[in-house]
Amino acid sequence: MSADPRAVESLLGFWVEAGVEALYAEAPVNRTAPAAAPLAATATAKGLSPAPAARADTVPAALKAEDLQESQSAAADAPDLPALEAAIADFDGCALKSAGARQAVFARGAPDAPVMIIGEAPGGEEDIQGSPFVGRAGQLLDKMLSAAGLDGRAFITNTVFWRPPGNRTPTPAEQAACAPFLERAIALVKPKVLLLVGGASAKAMLKRPEGILALRGRWFEWRSGDGALELPALPTLHPAFLLRQPAAKKKSWEDLLTLVERLDRPGRPD
């Protein structure tokens, strides 16, 4: 019996809306190999238990000390944002780079912006276009920034620079590998405040155990790894969450107003 194409399209649309844009098999398939007896059947015939399937897309390699050293020295050597972007594209020490991402996604926005927005990770559309927050969530973010009078006043990036497979949350090891580049971007842009968008960003930047609903709307002090930089940081809800829960937009709007109020306060924002 063949499936109704409209039902298939509707089901796929449902999954895409839910953020599921990639389908993975349990193990890699070599489609060029000559047909052979299934491995599990061969193993069973030999009286062996079949090996468990590898989940290559969900088992990130832990961060190696030499990869961290490399990102630290490449970031420190970047004199400006274009050099930093090139250094990120050259860096092989983040496991996400070889996990299916098309390209590195660094940043967009004003290079001297007073607000730096730090999201979680590039998604499918960002991976295609090579720019952060350009999909549906990014369009909502742009509308909100514009309504809050922040057009042209934000520099937008993420905690990691490659799309995680299946849009999963980046691991702490992946975020740690990218952190020296992110910190260098903060040092070069010199924003007055950070807006941490979503739980994965807030957790990585503030190293706090609470969830985003407990953190959002409160000011924290962000410090760079070497303690040289300190900035006020405001966690807020992720626009992808707002697309699923429109009733939460009110909270995000309050957070943006909190941010603008501090930014435009006379004197230092901190």
Binding site for ligand URA (CB under 6 A): 119-123, 126, 132-133, 135, 137-138, 158, 198, 240
The minimum distance between CB 187 and ligand URA, in angstroms, equals 21
Name the residue nearer to ligand URA (CB basis): 185 or 240. Answer: 240
**Contact between residue 165 and residue 22 where contact means Cβ atoms under 8 Å apart:** yes
Name the residue nearer to ligand URA (CB basis): 138 or 269. Answer: 138
Q: What is the 3-state secondary structure (H, E, C) of the chain?
A: CCCCHHHHHHHHHHHHHCCCCCCCCCCCCCCCCCCCCCHHHHHHHCCCCCCCCCCCCCCCCCCCHHHHHHHHHHHHHCCCHHHHHHHHHHCCCCHHHHCCCCCCCCCEECCCCCEEEEECCCCHHHHHHCCCCCCHHHHHHHHHHHHCCCCCCEEEEECCCCCCHHHCCCCHHHHHHHHHHHHHHHHHHCCCEEEEECHHHHHHHHCCCCCHHHHCCCCEEEECCCCCCEEEEEEECCHHHHHHCHHHHHHHHHHHHHHHHHHCCCCCCC
The residue of the chain with the least Cβ separation from ligand URA equals: 119
Name the residue nearer to ligand URA (CB basis): 132 or 269. Answer: 132
The minimum distance between CB 130 and ligand URA, in angstroms, equals 11
The minimum distance between CB 230 and ligand URA, in angstroms, equals 24
Name the residue nearer to ligand URA (CB basis): 204 or 269. Answer: 204
**Contact between residue 270 and residue 231 where contact means Cβ atoms under 8 Å apart:** yes
Name the residue nearer to ligand URA (CB basis): 201 or 269. Answer: 201
Name the residue nearer to ligand URA (CB basis): 109 or 123. Answer: 123
The minimum distance between CB 141 and ligand URA, in angstroms, equals 8
The minimum distance between CB 73 and ligand URA, in angstroms, equals 26
The minimum distance between CB 6 and ligand URA, in angstroms, equals 29
